[in-house]
Amino acid sequence: MRRSFHHVIFTAVALCAAGAAVMNPVLTRGKDLCDSAPVGFKEQCRKQLWVTYRSFNKELERTGQFAAMGITNRCFFASNTINGRGDPYSEYPLIWKGFKQYDWSALDAQAEDLVKASPNARFMVMIDLNTPYWATHKFWLDSFTDITHAGVMPEWRNRTKEWMLDFIAYAEKKWGDRIGAYILSGGGTSEWYEYDRGRTSYAKNKGWRGWCAARNLSLGDEPPSPTALHRAAFEDLVYDPAAEPEKIAYWKFHNSITANAILFFASAARKAIPKAKEIGVFFGYYLMSNPNQTSFAHLDYGRVYASPDIDFFIAPGNYSDRTIGGGSGSQLVYGTALRHGKRFLHEIDFGPHDQNQWGKGLWKTLEDDLAGNTREAAFAMANNASYWWFDMWGQFYRNQKLRERIAALKKIQDGLKPTPSVAEMLIVCDPESLYHVNEKCPLERAFGQHFRNQLTRIAAPCDIYSFDDLPVLDMNRYKLVCLNSTLLITSERAKFLREKVCTGGRTVLWCYAPGVTDGKTLHAARVKEWAGVPFKTPGVSVSQMEGWRSVYAYDYRLFTPESLTKIASEAGVHLYLDAPATVFAKEGFLAVHTKDGGEKTVRLRTKAARVVDLLTGETVVQDADSFRTVFASPDTRLFRVQYSQPPALGK
């Protein structure tokens, strides 16, 4: 039976890769792509779109229920380690029992149980690259808590690669006809987290010396201590590159280790895995919980996203904005993944209102569960992203009404086509600037999740890219660009900003000290050149510059949904509602999430031939550029917007 299943699944994938017509609408190619598609969009759509069920536990009953709902993709974790709570990640026995010693029956039992519950199951398999407990003394570390220390050790990398390749060889031989993707997992919580906050070790100090020597840098035989790293010359926040170059260099070294490790394993895995199958990894958490943005060791995500060996990237939903009425979103800079033709996978891991574990108290009623989970799926749909329902430790989806909603969302997903974003606002993430930052200073909060959390409440969608993506983006669509974390403006960056970003009547938003460093020196007087007003000018300042408008505030907390709504409106950004709301949108698709119900007016970008409520199938309005509709409290509504003539972006 598995042979015929393999034939059905992977013949379709091969046809997609060849550019042939495909029946599944979520994998439709070529003719459905808009002419305005951004860089990487066509390549992204050639990747698979995964809608999946996942749990750490066996959850065989729920696996069968999700299969009956049309969700037969199942992710499982072939784990050898324990989690941050001290519990085993897997309910099955250890697989990796010693160097070249394996208990493959533990893997077989996991797969066999899932096939019994879901006969047509298709697998995404997480491979645990962390150090089993029997190996921690052999390496004198545990990669779960010390990934940047393990990552510089050739013995750890090579022994772990040996295990990974042996696992892949066995899994392909026994279960390959069901496996569609492998996920390479390591570091803290198996998401490549680093917890050391700058702590040194023999292995890491040796790696530091080699890294400096390769770059002809004389910065000392040992890296700066954590105490030194958590002090900075400028307001205790920004390192002076003339006086503190070793601190900036250290964080670049630190972040490069994790990226190098992932690229090392992905390259080896790609050679061992059939081309039709995909490789995924948890990585690129720039929009993660402060104050660990720099030490977290995810900042070198640009190199990893560019790798030809990796097909998709995974992250949980935003931890700081999960309440009803919030914008949620991903911790990834998913625009950078798109630029490189990759999909991302949105992990929906929100516990329901009546469970006692993950996220207890954030959602308080079944109505919250329905509106919140619909918001999460809508975010993925609007960004052409994969997603999985993560039943973490079980019992997240025991409510039948919630499962019925998930089944309805799957049907909606099956009918959607990949189309580009229509956002007119852009948030620009800047890892190069963050290398210059003491993350322990409270002022650092300006550079992470704050702006995304505020902008997602103003009833307009926004895109998120990295500074290095800007040269290849079509900037015409963006009317408001948020460069809130750009402290580093070199002469090359300055020239580029003047030519492509700070031009065309666009509004550019800055925070704290734009351009305070050029990478060689540090001067607060440079801020006025970009902000239009001197450093630390009180309040929110709006300055008319030559051909563009600058908005600046030293204190990031002054940028609230109310002030940002005014800024966006004056910039000409299309606001879909007058009231606060979270809006996700792409060409032909619109989602609105709101905490407060009642009758509201939804304004479209231009006149639509027809607007359909995707959850009810009802036509909401025809031949109109706005409509009034009643929202529940809370609610998330999904609409198909059919334009007679799609509006030109940026107009």
How many whole angstroms from its chain centre is CA 15? 28
Directed axis angle between helix 60-68 and helix 104-117, to 10°? 40
| Domain stop point among 415, 434, 466 | 415
pTM: 0.93
| Domain stop point among 571, 599, 621 | 571
Residue 103 neighbours by CB distance under 10 Å: 14
Mean pLDDT to the nearest integer, 36-43: 88
CA 607 – CA 174 distance, rounded (Å): 55
Residues 616 and 557 in one domain: no
| Maximal C-alpha separation, the chain | 71
Token pair for 492: 């090359």
Q: For residue 108, is pLDDT > 70?
A: yes
Q: Which amino acid is at 226?
A: P
Q: For residue 101, is pLDDT > 60?
A: yes
Quick check: helix, strand or coil at residue 445?
Answer: helix
Query: In terms of Cα–Cα distance, which of 489, 554, 546, 498 is closest to 522?
Result: 489
228 assigned to some structural domain? no
Residues 507 and 376 in one domain: no
262 assigned to some structural domain? yes
Mean pLDDT to the nearest integer, 401-419: 97
Angle, CA 85 vertex, CA 81 and CA 91 arms, to 5° = 50
Residues 537 and 466 in one domain: yes
Length of the chain equals 651
| pLDDT confidence band for 15 (50 / 70 / 90) | very low
Mean pLDDT to the nearest integer, 63-76: 98
- The per-residue pLDDT for 357 is 75
Residues 626 and 522 in one domain: no
Angle, CA 522 vertex, CA 519 and CA 528 arms, to 5° = 105
Query: In terms of Cα–Cα distance, which of 432, 560, 445, 467 is closest to 512?
Result: 445
Query: In terms of Cα–Cα distance, which of 372, 339, 412 is closest to 614?
Result: 412
> What is the residue whose two structure tokens read 């299969």?
67
Residues 410 and 429 in one domain: no
Q: For residue 356, is pLDDT > 80?
A: no
Q: Count Cβ atoms within 10 A of the Cβ of residue 2 and give its class: 0-12 exposed, 13-18 middle, 19 or more buried.
A: middle
Q: What would the pLDDT profile of 520-538 be if each residue is shown by its tens digit?
A: 999 999 999 999 999 999 9
257 assigned to some structural domain? yes
109 assigned to some structural domain? yes
209 assigned to some structural domain? no
Q: Which amino acid is at 296?
A: F
Please compute Rg for the chain using Cα positions: 25
How many whole angstroms from its chain centre is CA 619? 33
What CATH number did the domain enclosing 519 receive? Answer: 3.40.50.880
Residues 25 and 88 in one domain: yes
Neighbouring residues of 150: CB distance < 8 A, sequence distance ≥ 6: 131, 139, 141, 143, 156, 157, 203, 261
509 assigned to some structural domain? yes
Residues 383 and 521 in one domain: no
Describe the strand order of the beta sheet including 425-429 as a list of residue ranges.
462-466, 425-429, 480-483, 507-511, 549-553, 541-544
Residues 473 and 527 in one domain: yes
Query: In terms of Cα–Cα distance, which of 74, 127, 69 is closest to 411?
Result: 69
Residues 38 and 130 in one domain: yes
Poorest-confidence range of 240-254, 347-361, 439-453?
A: 347-361
Mean pLDDT to the nearest integer, 116-122: 98
How many whole angstroms from its chain centre is CA 6? 30
Cβ atoms of 404 and 608 closer than 8 Å: no
What CATH number did the domain enclosing 597 receive? Answer: 2.60.40.1180
Residues 453 and 509 in one domain: yes
Residue 471 neighbours by CB distance under 10 Å: 11
Range of the domain at 598: 587-642
| Domain stop point among 397, 415, 433 | 415
| pLDDT confidence band for 87 (50 / 70 / 90) | confident
Query: In terms of Cα–Cα distance, which of 603, 553, 557, 615 is closest to 578?
Result: 603
Query: In terms of Cα–Cα distance, which of 432, 556, 550, 554 is closest to 487?
Result: 432
Please give the DSSP secondary-structure letter assigned to residue 234: B
Mean pLDDT to the nearest integer, 4-26: 34
Mean pLDDT to the nearest integer, 17-23: 32
Quick check: helix, strand or coil at residue 423?
Answer: coil
581 assigned to some structural domain? no
Poorest-confidence range of 14-28, 476-490, 528-542, 616-630?
A: 14-28
Q: From residue 209, give the alpha-carbon distance in Å to each of 213, 218, 250.
A: 6, 9, 11
Query: In terms of Cα–Cα distance, which of 580, 584, 578, 597 is closest to 635?
Result: 597
CA 413 – CA 417 distance, rounded (Å): 8
Domain count for the chain: 3
Token pair for 201: 């070790």
Residue 375 neighbours by CB distance under 10 Å: 29
User: How high is the mean pLDDT of the chain?
Assistant: 92
- The per-residue pLDDT for 368 is 97
Mean pLDDT to the nearest integer, 195-207: 92
Residue 266 C-beta-side C-alpha neighbours within 13 Å: 27
380 assigned to some structural domain? yes
Q: For residue 281, is pLDDT > 60?
A: yes
Q: What would the pLDDT profile of 549-595 be if each residue is shown by its tens digit?
A: 999 999 999 999 999 999 999 999 999 999 999 999 999 999 999 99
Q: Count Cβ atoms within 10 A of the Cβ of residue 436 and give its class: 0-12 exposed, 13-18 middle, 19 or more buried.
A: buried
Residue 279 neighbours by CB distance under 10 Å: 19
Residues 164 and 313 in one domain: yes
Mean pLDDT to the nearest integer, 398-402: 97
Poorest-confidence range of 6-20, 101-115, 240-254, 285-299?
A: 6-20
- The per-residue pLDDT for 176 is 98
Phi-psi group of 3: left, alpha or beta (phi > 0 → left; psi -120 to 50 → alpha; rest → beta):
alpha
Q: For residue 627, is pLDDT > 80?
A: yes
Residue 466 β-bridge partners? 429
Residues 520 and 625 in one domain: no
- The per-residue pLDDT for 294 is 94
- The per-residue pLDDT for 291 is 79
Quick check: helix, strand or coil at residue 160?
Answer: helix
Query: In terms of Cα–Cα distance, which of 245, 220, 111 is closest to 172?
Result: 111
